[in-house]
């Protein structure tokens, strides 16, 4: 009978130990599963965060790229428009000015206008220097209007230093203002730039 009681006691202890072991094993498995689920959830959250940051960065890069491309396009278009306008102005102005600065009547009218505006219309003594290469042409044309030029206070002379256009200065002043085809072209181009741009664009 003692054997039976001992066996019962052993079986009962064994059963309780087995039950406790199973409960502990179930608890450890549950803890491991919870830890694994947390690791997976954390990894998914981190992956989602990385993907979101990458998408945001890609969107920023795309937006910045489009802004840069748009700006570059606008600058290129503005440059092309400007070059077209400059070419049209240069072609239309330069030929006309080159002809005008060798036209004696035009030069005479400019000299008279300069003399009238020099000191607000008061009589001044000016000396105009014209290209020496055009002396024969200008002398012949100015013969008829010499009195008009002298009455305006303008003495006409010729210089090999003047290649085109003319220079005007006070007779004994020592300095001259140049009216070359380049200076006329620059003046006309500035005036025409806005008008041509409006016509074209």
State the 10-residue block means of pLDDT for the chain, 201 residues long.
72 76 84 88 90 91 89 84 73 60 70 73 71 75 70 74 73 70 68 67 61
The rounded distance, in Å, linking the Cα atoms of 54 and 51 is 5
**Domain range list for the chain:** 1-89, 102-179
Q: What is the pLDDT of residue 57?
A: 92
pLDDT of residue 116: 76
Per-residue pLDDT at 51: 92
Q: What angle do CA 177, 183, 188 make, to 5 degrees?
A: 130
Distance CA 170, CA 125 (A): 6
Q: Is 43 exposed, middle or buried (0-12, 13-18, 19+ CB in 10 A)?
A: exposed
pLDDT for the residue numbered 100: 53
Architecture of domain 102-179: 2-Layer Sandwich (3.30)
CA distance 11 to 17: 10
Confidence (pLDDT) at 103: 67
pLDDT number for residue 52: 93
Calculate helix-pair angle for 181-200, 2-100, nearest 10 degrees: 130
Q: Nearest Cα to 93, choosing from 191, 26, 174, 20?
A: 191
């Amino acid at each position: 009978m003692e054997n039976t009681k001992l066996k019962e006691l052993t079986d009962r202890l064994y059963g309780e130990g087995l039950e406790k072991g199973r409960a502990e094993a179930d608890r450890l498995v549950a803890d491991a599963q919870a830890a694994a689920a947390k690791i997976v959830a954390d990894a998914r959250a981190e992956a989602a965060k990385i993907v979101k940051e990458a998408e945001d960065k890609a969107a920023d890069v795309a937006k910045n790229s489009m802004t840069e491309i748009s700006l570059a396009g606008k600058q290129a278009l503005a440059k092309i428009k400007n070059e077209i306008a400059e070419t049209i102005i240069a072609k239309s102005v330069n030929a006309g000015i080159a002809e005008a600065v060798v036209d004696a009547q035009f030069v005479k009218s400019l000299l008279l206008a300069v003399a009238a505006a020099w000191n607000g219309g008061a009589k001044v003594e000016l000396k105009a220097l014209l290209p020496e290469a055009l002396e024969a042409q200008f002398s012949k044309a100015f013969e008829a209007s010499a009195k008009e030029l002298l009455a305006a206070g303008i003495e006409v002379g010729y210089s090999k230093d003047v290649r085109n256009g003319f220079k005007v200065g006070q007779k004994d002043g020592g300095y001259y203002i140049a009216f070359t085809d380049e200076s006329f072209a620059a003046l006309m181009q500035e005036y025409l730039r806005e008008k041509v741009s409006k016509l074209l664009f």
